[in-house]
């Protein structure tokens, strides 16, 4: 046998020769060994679990984005069956394995190519933010606000849509009124879900900004932008009016800012947004189905109370300021002195 072959044969023999104890172990592992292996596997699994839950690992955030993505896509495919969340409630608080900065990072970034899906995911992620954020984090939320998906024009903003719809209902009977209204709602639907999600996200972000002159102006600009897309802003402006009231009574703003805001609010009365199809009605006089056309506006009296309150605060500084019992007591003590 050649020398090399002899060496290989010896090596194979050494590998195959085993003591009786080794053979027994190979045939039937001892119970003790199995117990040790199982315990080690459990320990390793726990370590892996604990590692995934460490702050910064972000597994909960990844899972949330995946689940919310599915919710939005399911709704897009079958809106009659799938349900969307009506409030931002996916998280109850910041998950243990996610930092606030990681969560804000996800809100800053686009999460899907579709505007509706993207806005829906980011709006739901807002539910995990804590009540208090530092200045740097608030600036990042402002960046997120600037980078939200763009709103889409409501059906009817384009004059060609209005002309087409008028031609479609021409010659209709009084009994066709409800059918025409249903058709109008159907034509609005493709933009209602995307715009709804985008508006939810933008409103949630605005709500996190400090209550001051700049954020109120930002809200007025937001309302104007929505009007330009044919979107009603009645409910949004109620929140803006409430914010103005709290700003006056809680923050004692400078008179110059209040005067400037009065001028801005007066201008909103004259602003007209996009012209849209408000509704479809049967016209008794002309015996025909007709569309009711009109522009979305701020409303003539929306800010009347706010303007009145601002003017009073400018003329009588502190008159509208919210008073507490302790404040009254300290004022009386000062008078006695």
Q: Which pLDDT does position 317 carry in this prediction?
A: 79
Structure tokens belonging to residue 157: 């903003």
Residue 94's nearest CA partner among 82, 104, 80, 83 is 104
Among residues 111, 115, 108, which one has the least CA distance to residue 139? 108
Using the predicted structure, report yes or no on whether residue 72 has a pLDDT greater than 60. Answer: yes
**Residue where a domain stops, chosen among 125, 149, 173:** 149
Burial 252-289 (b: 16+ CB within 10 A, else e): ebeeebbeebbebbeebeeeebbbbbeebebeeeeeeb
**pLDDT value at position 63?**
97
> How large is the average pLDDT for residues 175-181?
96
Does the pLDDT value for residue 6 go beyond 50?
A: no
Q: Is 68:24 a contact under the CB 8 Å cutoff?
A: no
Q: How confident is the model at residue 42 (pLDDT cuts 50, 70, 90)?
A: low
Do 105 and 246 belong to one domain? no
Checking if the pLDDT of 299 tops 80, the result is yes
pLDDT band at 300; cut points 50, 70, 90:
confident
| pLDDT attached to residue 22 | 38
Burial grade of 118 (CB within 10 A; 0-12, 13-18, 19 or more): buried
Mean pLDDT in residue range 179-198? 94
Residues 69 and 207 placed together within one structural domain of the fold: no
Give how far Cα 172 sits from Cα of 164, 199, 291, 302, Å: 14, 35, 12, 37
Whole-number average pLDDT of the chain? 85
- Residues 62, 108, single domain; the answer is yes
Q: Please state the rounded mean pLDDT for residues 191-198.
A: 95
| Weakest-pLDDT range from 32-36, 187-191, 244-248 | 32-36
Does pLDDT of 18 surpass 70? no
The count of structural domains within the chain is 2
Contact 185, 217 (CB under 8 A): no
Query: Last residue of some domain: 149, 182, 213?
Result: 149
125 and 84 in a common domain: yes
- Residue 31, pLDDT > 70, answer no
**Whether residues 127 and 169 fall in one domain:** no
Confidence band, pLDDT 50/70/90 cuts, at residue 337: low
Mean pLDDT of 214-224: 97
Report residue 242's pLDDT band, with 50, 70 and 90 as the boundaries. very high
Whether 193 and 328 share a structural domain: yes
**Token couple for 151:** 């709103």
What is the span of the domain harbouring residue 143? Answer: 54-149
243 and 301 fall within a common domain: yes
36 confidence band (pLDDT: 50, 70, 90)? very low
Q: Is 172 found in the same domain as 139? A: no
pLDDT of res. 182? 95
68 phi, psi to nearest 5 deg = -70, -35
Q: What pLDDT shows up at residue 155?
A: 94
Mode of pairing for the β-strands spanning 288-297 and 272-283: antiparallel
**CB neighbour class for 160 (10 Å; exposed up to 12, middle 13-18, buried from 19):** exposed
- Check the CA dihedral 132-134-139-143 and report its sign: negative
State the Cα–Cα distance between residues 157 and 159, nearest whole angstrom. 6
Within a domain: 90: yes
Does residue 332 register a pLDDT over 80? no
Over residues 150-168, the pLDDT tens digits come to: 999 999 999 999 999 999 9
């Amino acid at each position: 046998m050649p020398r090399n072959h002899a060496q290989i044969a010896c090596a194979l023999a050494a590998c195959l020769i085993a003591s009786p104890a080794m053979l027994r172990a190979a045939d039937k592992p001892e119970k003790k060994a199995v117990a040790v292996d199982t315990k080690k596997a459990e320990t390793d699994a726990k370590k892996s679990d604990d590692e995934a839950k460490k702050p910064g690992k972000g597994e909960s955030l990844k899972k949330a984005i995946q689940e919310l993505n599915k919710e939005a896509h399911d709704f897009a495919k079958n809106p009659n069956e799938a349900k969307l969340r009506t409030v931002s409630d996916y998280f109850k608080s910041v998950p243990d394995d996610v930092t606030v900065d990681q969560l804000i990072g996800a809100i800053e970034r686009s999460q899907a190519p579709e505007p509706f899906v993207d806005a829906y995911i980011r709006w739901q992620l807002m539910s995990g933010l804590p009540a208090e954020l530092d200045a740097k984090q608030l600036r990042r939320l402002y960046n997120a606000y600037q980078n939200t998906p763009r709103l889409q024009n409501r059906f009817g903003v384009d004059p060609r849509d209005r002309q087409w719809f008028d031609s479609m209902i021409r010659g209709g009977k009084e009994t066709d009124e409800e059918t025409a209204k249903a058709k109008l709602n159907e034509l609005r639907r493709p933009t209602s879900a995307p715009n709804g999600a985008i508006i939810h996200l933008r409103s949630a972000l605005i709500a996190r900004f400090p209550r001051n002159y700049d954020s109120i102006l930002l809200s007025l600009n937001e309302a104007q932008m929505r009007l330009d897309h044919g979107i009603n802003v009645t409910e949004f402006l109620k929140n803006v009016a409430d914010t103005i009231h709290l700003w006056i009574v809680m923050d004692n703003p400078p008179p110059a800012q209040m005067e400037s805001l009065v001028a801005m609010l007066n201008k909103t009365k004259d602003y007209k947004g996009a012209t849209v199809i408000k509704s479809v009605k049967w016209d008794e006089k002309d015996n025909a189905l007709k569309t009711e056309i009109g522009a979305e506006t701020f409303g003539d009296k929306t800010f009347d109370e706010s303007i009145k309150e601002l003017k009073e605060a400018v003329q009588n500084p502190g008159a509208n300021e919210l008073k507490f019992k302790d404040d009254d007591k300290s004022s009386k003590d000062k008078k006695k002195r």
